[in-house]
Amino acid sequence: MSFTGKYELQSQENFEPFMKALGLPDDQIQKGKDIKSISEIVQDGKKFKITVTTGSKVLHNEFVIGEECEMEMLTGEKVKAIVQMEGNNRLVANLKGLKSVTELNGDTITNTLTMGDLTYKRISKRI
């Protein structure tokens, strides 16, 4: 199953408390909560390029499954991570105390971020 495509954010759960816990400033949280972000994924075998555009903020990450890479977090901080693939439709990464699980089901991508007992869930549809 290929992740390649453009996806628009449909819904999200726990955005504000999660972003506060990450340390994002309140004004950034307020601006970001109602913007429908667009995620563009290009998959070439085990190599991925992911671009997430939220208003004027663009987050860009590239990685190869199973190899250490540098990932930019929502806060702009860069951290080392290894992304693993489980099955053929799930990407799992641990970034500095944050677990990210991205699952593709048909035309829907569900991204779940967990930090301690706090979970933030984003659901995006292919456009």
- Domain positions in the chain are 5-126
The count of other CB atoms within 10 Å of the CB of residue 109 is: 23
- The number of residues making up the chain comes to 127
Q: What is the pLDDT of residues 35-45, one digit of tens each?
A: 889 999 999 99
The rounded distance, in Å, linking the Cα atoms of 127 and 125 is 6
pLDDT class of 117 with cuts at 50, 70, 90: very high
- Mean pLDDT for 10-26 is 92
CA 126 to chain centre: 15
CATH number, span 5-126: 2.40.128.20
The rounded distance, in Å, linking the Cα atoms of 70 and 58 is 16
The rounded distance, in Å, linking the Cα atoms of 2 and 111 is 16
Q: Which residues pair with 38 in a beta bridge?
A: 8, 53
The rounded distance, in Å, linking the Cα atoms of 30 and 67 is 35
Q: What is the pLDDT of residues 54-94, one digit of tens each?
A: 888 899 999 999 999 999 987 788 999 999 999 999 999 99
Q: Report pTM.
A: 0.90
